[in-house]
């Protein structure tokens, strides 16, 4: 498996990693525990060593699942988790008070069945707690040996700089894909300057770029895509053109849409490590094989030319959630 380095502190991880949120949260009913554990362990066997979870994914149930699945492989894998919501529930708003961070870390260590968290992210910037206090608390936890690396999620340029000045930030996690390229404008230059890695979630556009979703797709009532403007029936129909453009390139390269979308993300910078999620073994294998798809400069130019002509319809978050990002 191809490896990449996140940040200047030498955190080496597989490219890609595995986003585990969807196994218990966000995309409908939780996956059967036995099947979820089998998927996570299969990922390890196939060379993935980087796993992403959070307290807010089912209030710790996702962490407990990961802890159970990865316990036999603990010394071979890198586990990332996150703090930052009241009572571990994103619906209750943000909470990054230092005492809360410590409580979350103690809980996460227990649930993950480990004595150290490899990468600890602030899930969303808390406007009520100075980012310096957040970074300072993580610095204390690193000194205590409970955490190895510090990360931020969906943070803006000012917060990244201020946090990094207190405790070096190893990685920023934010959405990035062929249909959400906003980080290229302001975020990438800062990450490059400071030597911070980038971990894109939803590199397959929450499944849309794979071609498996169309205007007629019915989501489970608990699937959060139901409230995402970009996933309204009207916008799915309007955005089909980007899937068609990717499909054309995929056919020419003898690859799948997902593999082209992931290979494109991987080709952007050597310090980018996408974390596609899945609940299906065949999708896991498909995603891992994206590292074998080589996109030459000509291919990348062709993809850019095709995609730049398309205006994506719909916001990536409903308004109340959009307020939490880029702070």
Asked if the model's pLDDT at residue 326 lies above 80, the reply is no
**Residues 41, 60 contacting (CB under 8 angstroms):** no
Q: Provide the residue ranges of all domains of the chain, joining segments of one domain with +.
A: 3-322
Do strands 11-14 and 3-6 pair parallel, antiparallel, or not at all (unpaired)? antiparallel
- Report pLDDT for 170: 98
Asked if the model's pLDDT at residue 300 lies above 90, the reply is yes
- What is the residue-averaged pLDDT of the chain? 95
Which pTM was predicted?
Answer: 0.96
Q: What is the pLDDT of residues 283-295, one digit of tens each?
A: 999 999 999 999 9
Q: What is the pLDDT of residues 245-267, one digit of tens each?
A: 999 999 999 999 999 999 999 99
Which listed residue (27, 57, 121, 176) is catalytic? Answer: 57
- Report pLDDT for 318: 82
DSSP 3-state of 196: coil
- Report pLDDT for 324: 83
What is the CATH class of 3-322? Answer: alpha beta
Clarify whether 27 is annotated catalytic.
no
Q: Residue 322 — very low, low, confident or very high, per pLDDT cuts 50/70/90?
A: confident
Q: What is the pLDDT of residues 68-122, one digit of tens each?
A: 999 999 999 999 999 999 999 999 999 999 999 999 999 999 999 999 999 999 9
- Report pLDDT for 321: 85
Q: How many CB atoms are located within 10 Å of the residue 285 CB?
A: 13
State how far the Cα of 191 lies from the Cα of 110, in Å rounded to an integer. 32
Q: What is the pLDDT of residues 35-48, one digit of tens each?
A: 999 999 999 999 99
Asked if the model's pLDDT at residue 271 lies above 90, the reply is yes
Q: Residue 319 — very low, low, confident or very high, per pLDDT cuts 50/70/90?
A: confident
Joined together, the tokens standing for residue 183 give 């980080």
- Report pLDDT for 273: 98
State how far the Cα of 120 lies from the Cα of 101, in Å rounded to an integer. 10
Percentage of residues in the chain with pLDDT exceeding 90? 92
Q: Residue 27 — very low, low, confident or very high, per pLDDT cuts 50/70/90?
A: confident
| Max intra-chain CA distance, the chain | 54
């Amino acid at each position: 498996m191809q490896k990449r380095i996140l940040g200047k502190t030498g955190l080496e991880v597989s490219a890609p990693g595995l986003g585990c949120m969807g196994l218990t949260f966000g995309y409908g009913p939780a996956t059967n525990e036995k099947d979820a554990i089998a998927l996570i362990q299969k990922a390890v066997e196939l060379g993935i060593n980087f796993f992403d979870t959070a307290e807010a994914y089912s209030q710790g149930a996702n962490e407990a699942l990961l802890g159970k699945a990865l316990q036999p492989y603990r010394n071979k894998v890198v586990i990332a988790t996150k703090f930052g919501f009241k009572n571990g529930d994103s619906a209750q708003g943000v909470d990054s008070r230092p005492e809360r961070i410590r409580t979350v870390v103690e809980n996460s260590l227990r649930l993950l069945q480990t004595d150290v968290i490899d990468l600890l992210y602030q899930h969303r910037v808390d406007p009520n707690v100075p980012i310096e206090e957040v970074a300072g608390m993580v610095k204390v936890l690193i000194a205590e040996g409970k955490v190895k690396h510090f990360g931020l999620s969906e943070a803006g340029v000012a917060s990244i700089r201020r946090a990094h000045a207190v405790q070096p930030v190893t990685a920023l996690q934010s959405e990035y894909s062929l249909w959400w390229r906003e980080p290229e404008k302001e975020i990438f230059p800062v990450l490059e300057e400071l030597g911070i890695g980038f971990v894109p979630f939803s590199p397959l556009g929450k499944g849309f770029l794979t071609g498996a979703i169309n205007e007629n797709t019915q989501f489970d009532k608990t699937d959060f895509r139901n409230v995402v403007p970009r996933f309204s029936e009207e916008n799915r129909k309007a955005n089909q053109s980007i899937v068609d453009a990717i499909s054309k390139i995929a056919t020419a390269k003898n690859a799948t849409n997902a593999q082209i979308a992931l290979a494109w993300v991987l080709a952007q910078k050597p310090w980018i490590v996408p974390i596609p999620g899945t609940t299906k073994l065949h999708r896991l294998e498909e995603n891992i094989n994206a590292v074998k798809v080589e996109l030459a400069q000509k291919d990348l130019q062709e993809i850019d030319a095709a995609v730049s002509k398309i205006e994506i319809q719909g916001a990536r978050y409903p308004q109340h959630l959009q307020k939490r990002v880029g702070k």
